[in-house]
Amino acid sequence: MDISTLIGIIVAFGLVSISILTGQGVSFFFSISSVFIVFGGTIGATLVSFPLAEVLAVANVAKNAFFAKDNSSYDTIEQLVDIAEKARREGILAIERELDDVQDSFMKLGIQYAVDGTEPETIRSILESELSGMEERHKLGKKIFDAMGSYAPAFGMIGTLVGLIQMLAALDDPSSIGAGMATALVTTLYGSMAANILFIPIGAKLEFRSREEGRRKELIIEGILAIQSGDNPRIVQEKLKTFLPPVERGFSGDGEGEM
């Protein structure tokens, strides 16, 4: 669970809710028709903009913003260094026995190609194509959330206009103008909250997750190619540490390798 995403949403909604509950006229902030206009309109516009299958899959994409995958770059480096040690001691073919312990399908694919004696250029080309495909899928997921973030405020304004029209149509009762105006503006509030607390932030978190996973996969590609070329495990480790931010490069794996 990515606790920061959950905390952020709770804090944002919570503070807005507290400001509403401590004010006057709390009942005016709750409108089912406003919910229908904002969320129904946003979903409808999204369906117009993107293929149905992609929109239906957006829930599966959204979980990446709430559930961080347990794929640490540190753990990945340690695993690749361990494999490099085994390959140096027993030969590249010996690491085929390690495949059952490799949970990452991307890493497993690359190691299998290395064991099969595939040319390094071919391995890089195949794995980079896999990486590009993943990045494109992630970009589409972010694009959908960004689109929803732009549609929600627009439909909030549409709802407000609908409410104002209904209010102006009943001007024969001046006492209802204040309440009618308040109800009309609630839809704009819903649209702004949906966009700025949910859709746009989730899109930003998905972009961050994609960059993080892309960097880890690039690390795997370089690690596999270094192992295939017979690099010393210590050199493999040093190469892979360059993918870490400078402040995190104090990492030191367990394996020393055989010199």
Nearest Cα to 225, choosing from 132, 110, 126, 130? 110
- What is each CA distance from 213 to 144, 162, 165, 219, 243, in whole angstroms? 19, 44, 49, 10, 12
pLDDT score of 60: 79
- C-alpha span between 134 and 136 (Å, rounded): 5
- What is each CA distance from 15 to 3, 34, 182, 196, 197, in whole angstroms? 18, 21, 20, 14, 12
The helix (H) or strand (E) run that includes residue 16 is: helix 3-21
Q: What is the mean pLDDT of each run of 10 residues along the chain (259 residues)?
A: 85 90 79 91 95 86 74 84 90 84 90 91 95 90 94 94 82 70 86 95 91 92 92 89 75 44
Evaluate whether 188 touches 159 at the Cβ level (below 8 Å). Answer: yes
- Per-residue pLDDT of 182-208, as tens digits, reads 778 899 999 999 999 999 999 999 999
- Per-residue pLDDT of 59-108, as tens digits, reads 777 887 787 665 678 889 988 999 999 888 888 888 888 788 888 899 99
The pTM assigned to this predicted structure is 0.80
Q: How many C-beta atoms lie closer than 10 Å to residue 158's C-beta?
A: 16
Question: In the 8-state DSSP scheme, what is residue 254?
Answer: S
